[in-house]
Structure 1
Amino acid sequence: MPDELLSRLRRFNTDFFPQYQDRFKDLVEQGQHPTTLFIGCSDSRLVPYMLTGAGPGELFLVRNVAAFVPPYDGSAGHHGTAAAIEYAVLALNVQHIIVCGHSHCGGIRALYGEVPDEASNLKAWLELGREACLPVQLSDEALHRTEERSVVLQLERLMDYPMVRSRVERGELALHGWHYVIEAGEVNVFDVHQGRFVPASSSEHSGTGPYSLTPVHDGVSPIFNEIDEAWRPR
C-alpha cells in the first residue's frame, strides 16, 4: 500500500519548506520567541495555526486530551503540560496563554460515560475535568456547557501557578479562554466581566480572565459560579 506519510514528508520538503526557508533559518539563528502559549485539545479537528493565522515560531503548543491543566502542587514531577507552562512563562516570556476547548469533545463526553479499564492513564487524566461536570444526563446542551465550564476551570488552575499569577497581576501576561464550535467555524471567547462566552465575531476582545482577585469562598471561585449559574436545565 502507498506510504502516504512519506509522500507528505517529501511534499513538505519540496513544496512547503522553500516558502519559509528564510524564516526557519532566522528561528534557528536567533532562537524561538513565541508570544503565545496555546493549550489545546489533541482532537484532530482543532488546528491552532488555522484558527490563529499564526506562522512558524509564533505559537508554543501544548496538546492533550480535552485541553486540561494539571493543578500546581509545587513538587517536581514528570508532567509535560505543567513543564510546558513553566517553560513558556519563565524561559520564553510569552505574553498570552490560550486554553482552547471545542465542540463535540470526546474527552469531555467521556466524563459522563465509561472508560475502558485498560486506559488507566486516561481515567486518571479525565478526573482533571470532573469539577466541570453537571449533575444531569448527557445531552448536546449539557456537553456544550461542560466544555465551556472546563475551559474556565483550566484558566482558574493556571492562576494557581505562581509564575502565571504574578505576571497576570503585573499586567505582563493575559489569559484567554476559547471554545471552538467546529461545525460553525466560530470561536467563542470567555468574557470574565459578563461571565459567559461571546462569539469572536461580535466580541470586543479575544477573551479575558480570570483576572478577578476576589478570594475563593468554600473552595469555589465566584467566576466559576457565574458560568454555573448560566446553565439552566430544561
Structure 2
Amino acid sequence: MPDDELLQRLQHFHHNAFPQYREQFQALVDQGQHPTTLFIGCSDSRLLPYLLTGAGPGELFLVRNVGAFVPPYDGSHGHHGTAAAIEFAVLSLAVQRIVVCGHSHCGAIKALYGETPPEAQNLHRWLDLGRDAVLPLPPGADVLRRTEQRAVVLQLERLMDYPMVRRRAQQGSLALHGWHYVIEDGEVHVLDVQSGSFIAASCAQHSGAVPYPPYVEHDGQVLAVD
C-alpha cells in the first residue's frame, strides 16, 4: 500500500468513520475500557476478529502473534508481550473469557514442517511453542488442518499454567474457548470437549467453553490437562 494511500485512509477514518463512534469512544475514555473477552489470535492479515465476532469498540482485548501461541508462564521462553497481556487482561481487566483462535492455511503451522530462514532466529525459537502439535506425518492438507487445531488445544493447555487463569477457571468466573477459523468457508469451528473435536459454529449446540478441569483433544482422545 503506497504511503499516500495510507494517509488517505487515516483521513477518511477521521472525517467519515470516527464521527459515528465519537460518543462511544468518549465514554470509553471517561469510564475506561471494560472488555469481556481476551482474543488471542494469529497475526495473519486474513483473520479479522471484529468482523468474525461482530464486536464493537471496547469489547475485545486483542493479542496477536505468529501462530496465536501462548508462551509459558514461568518465563522460560523469555519476556513476551503476550504473557504480559494475559496477566493484564485477567488481573486488571477481569475478562470473562479467553479465546484462542487459529486458522486454516496458517504460515506458522506450515513452518513447523519446514525450515525457517537462518536469519529468522526469533521466529525459529517462537515456533517451538507449537512443535508439540506436529504430527509424524507428511504435511498434507488434512495433516496441516489437524495440526492447526492441535496447536489451539496446546495453547489452551498452556494457559492453564497461568495461576490467575487456572484460579478463575476453577472458580467459574473465566471461560476458555478454542476456535479454528476456516478462511475459505467463513466458518469458525469451536472446540467441543465432549466429542473431542472441533465443530462448525453454525452447527454447534453450545459455545464450546472448556470446563474445569479442562479436557482437551489429542488425536481424537479426550484427555485431562492434569
Q: Shorter-chain TM-score: which interval? A: over 0.9
Amino acid aligned to 1:128: L
* Separation in structure 1 between the aligned mates of residue 163 and residue 75 of structure 2, nearest angstrom: 9
* Separation in structure 1 between the aligned mates of residue 23 and residue 210 of structure 2, nearest angstrom: 36
If the length of structure 2 is used for normalisation, what is the TM-score?
Answer: 0.93
Note the C-alpha offset of 1:34.
Answer: 0.2
Q: Which residue of 1 aligns with 2:96?
A: 95
Amino acid aligned to 2:36: T
**Residues 2 and 76 of structure 1, relative CA distance in 2, 3 Å threshold:** closer
Q: Partner of 2:147: helix, strand, or coil?
A: helix
Q: Which residue of 1 aligns with 2:144?
A: 143
Deviations 1:11-53 (A, max 9, x none): 0001110000000000000000000000000000000000000
If the length of structure 1 is used for normalisation, what is the TM-score?
Answer: 0.90
Note the C-alpha offset of 1:194.
Answer: 1.4
Contact 2:133 2:150 in 1 (8 A): yes
* Separation in structure 2 between the aligned mates of residue 68 and residue 44 of structure 1, nearest angstrom: 16
Q: Which residue of 1 aligns with 2:187?
A: 186
Q: Structure 1: which 5+ runs fail to align?
A: 214-222
**1:227 counterpart = 2:218:** yes
Cα RMSD (Å) of the superposition? 1.6
Deviations 1:176-211 (A, max 9, x none): 000000000000000112111011001112222153
* Separation in structure 2 between the aligned mates of residue 210 and residue 43 of structure 1, nearest angstrom: 28
Contact 2:71 2:77 in 1 (8 A): no
Q: Structure 2: which 5+ runs fail to align?
A: 222-226
Count of residue correspondences: 220
Contact 1:156 1:210 in 2 (8 A): no
4+ residue runs over 6 A deviation: none
Q: Partner of 1:205: helix, strand, or coil?
A: coil
Taking every aligned residue pair, what percent have the same amino acid on both sides?
Answer: 69
Deviations 1:94-117 (A, max 9, x none): 001000000000000000001001
**Residues 148 and 76 of structure 1, relative CA distance in 2, 3 Å threshold:** closer
